Amino acid sequence: MDYGFDLAFPVDRREPPGSRFLPARSRLGRGCGGVFRRRSSSSSRLLDFFSTLIGDLMADGRFKLDFRDDRFRAYATGIGEVILAWNDLHETLSSLFWVTLGIPNGLIPAAVWYSSKSDLAQRDMLEAALKVKAIGHPLETRDTFRKEIIWLVSEINKIADKRNDFVHSPVILLSTNEPTPAHHLGHKRAKKLSKKNLVGQASWFYDATIICRDYAADLNKSIGDRNTTLPERPKLPNRGDPSYA
């Protein structure tokens, strides 16, 4: 089955965009839930063309993508690795949450950590526990470690939104037969990736996440060993590096 499609435009610019390709009776509502309405401006007519095109493709079954198809393999492998690394990062952060609370029985901080349904909320809990100024705080006399973990959480938060763009963007196959972010109808996260190499982006997110996870583990070990010096702060990979393009 061919999942791809080519986008074409009329040669005669005097005609409304898509006028040669629209069916006799528009199936606009069938594919897109009737969200789009015709307007007089050329940009609105172009949007109508795209919505009709997407609607027709959906109605004809052209968007019933098989994500086990070989053309998705590299992308699917990459996104799977990113998700696994992200989950493992937050398991490591849970250990930092434990030592930050200083509760001997690890089941208690674990219950609090896992009570959250959001990894952002988990990071917020960790940051809040680190920032509180309280007598008897487990890291009260280890301010350099406290500040370093706060820095690490801040760096992870910077990665998180871009990672969410990558993980939560729908993809389609165009004539290139490569997964492409489906940004054509305005998906906000997909639009941010419209000019990105998805497989290269997967490599960057994986590398950056693993570096953060390993540093979190190093900090946790240093605190447990009562070291007085911080482990060497890592450098995150350059997202603009040609190897990720």
CA-CA-CA-CA dihedral for 75, 81, 87, 91, to nearest 10 = -170
Instruction: Determine contact, residues 93/126, Cβ cutoff 8 Å.
Output: yes
On average, the pLDDT of the chain sits at 81
Residue 23 has a pLDDT of: 41
Question: Residue 163 corresponds to which tokens in the numbers above?
Answer: 């990672």
For residue range 23-68, list pLDDT tens digits in order.
Answer: 433 433 344 444 444 445 666 666 666 666 566 555 555 567 889 9
pTM: 0.74
Does position 182 have pLDDT exceeding 80, yes or no?
A: yes
Q: Judge residue 113's burial from the number of C-beta atoms within 10 Å of its C-beta, 0-12 exposed, 13-18 middle, 19 or more buried.
A: buried
Q: How many residues does the chain have?
A: 245
Residue with tokens 């190897």: 243
Question: Residue 155 corresponds to which tokens in the numbers above?
Answer: 């760096």
**Mean pLDDT, residues 233-244:** 85
- Banded pLDDT at 146 (limits 50, 70, 90): very high
- The CA angle 34-37-41, to the nearest 5 degrees, is 155
What gap in Å lies between CA 79 and CA 95, rounded to an integer? 25
For residue range 163-173, list pLDDT tens digits in order.
Answer: 999 999 999 88
What gap in Å lies between CA 199 and CA 125, rounded to an integer? 32
Nearest-CA neighbor of 220 among 92, 119, 114? 92
For residue range 216-230, list pLDDT tens digits in order.
Answer: 999 999 998 888 899
Phi, psi dihedral angles at 180 (to 5 degrees): -130, 135
Residue 60 has a pLDDT of: 52
**Mean pLDDT, residues 91-97:** 97
Q: Judge residue 57's burial from the number of C-beta atoms within 10 Å of its C-beta, 0-12 exposed, 13-18 middle, 19 or more buried.
A: middle
Residue 72 has a pLDDT of: 93
